[in-house]
């Protein structure tokens, strides 16, 4: 499972892109690199591009462990998951994202990188934006 990680200075977003057949060890390596970059760059926005994965993780327990560990290791983060096309992989990503959210990480799933990046770049109360309730109701 090839993967890459990078920090975009202009947007302040750490991005991970993974592709091919999912292997848990590779997922862990990509996650560790993402957390290292987030800490090093003091970044609070992570884009995880999973569109080119053929399968996400092999078992529900893998998804649970991955989401729990990311939430445990992560600095305060907003994570945008760009989901793969197949139904099983989408379900795995949604479950992992839910695990992260249940442990305090702000995480959402998106169909496109553009939607994910736009959400990540929205202002939050932490950086001077409107409260979440105002954003939900279109009050800015």
- What are the pLDDT digits (tens) for 117-129? 999 999 776 655 4
Q: What pTM does this model have?
A: 0.81
- Residue in the structure block whose two tokens are 């091919």: 20
Q: What is the CATH number of the domain that holds 67?
A: 3.30.750.24
Residue 135, pLDDT > 90, answer no
Of residues 67 and 11, which shows the higher confidence score?
11
Residue 72, pLDDT > 50, answer yes
Structural domain count of the chain: 1
Per-residue pLDDT reduced to its tens digit, 78-118: 999 999 887 878 888 888 889 988 888 888 999 999 999 99
- The residues, ordered by sequence, that sit 6+ positions from 91 with a Cβ below 8 Å of its Cβ are none
pLDDT band at 133; cut points 50, 70, 90: very low
Per-residue pLDDT reduced to its tens digit, 40-54: 999 999 999 999 887
- Whether 44 and 38 have beta carbons less than 8 Å apart is answered as yes
- Whether 106 and 78 have beta carbons less than 8 Å apart is answered as yes
pLDDT band at 26; cut points 50, 70, 90: confident
Expressed as residue numbers, the domain containing 75 is 3-136
């Amino acid at each position: 499972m090839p993967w890459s990680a990078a920090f975009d200075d202009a947007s302040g977003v750490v991005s991970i892109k993974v592709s091919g057949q999912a292997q848990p060890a590779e997922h862990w390596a990509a996650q560790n690199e993402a957390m290292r970059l987030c800490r090093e760059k003091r970044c609070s926005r992570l884009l995880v591009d999973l569109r080119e994965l053929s399968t996400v993780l092999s078992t529900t327990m893998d998804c649970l462990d991955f989401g729990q560990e990311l939430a445990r290791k992560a600095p305060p983060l907003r994570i945008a998951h760009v989901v793969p096309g197949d139904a099983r992989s989408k379900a795995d990503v949604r479950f992992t994202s839910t695990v992260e959210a249940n442990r305090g990480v702000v995480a959402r799933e998106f169909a496109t990188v553009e939607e994910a990046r736009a959400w990540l770049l929205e202002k939050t109360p932490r950086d001077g934006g409107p409260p979440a309730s105002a954003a939900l109701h279109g009050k800015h």
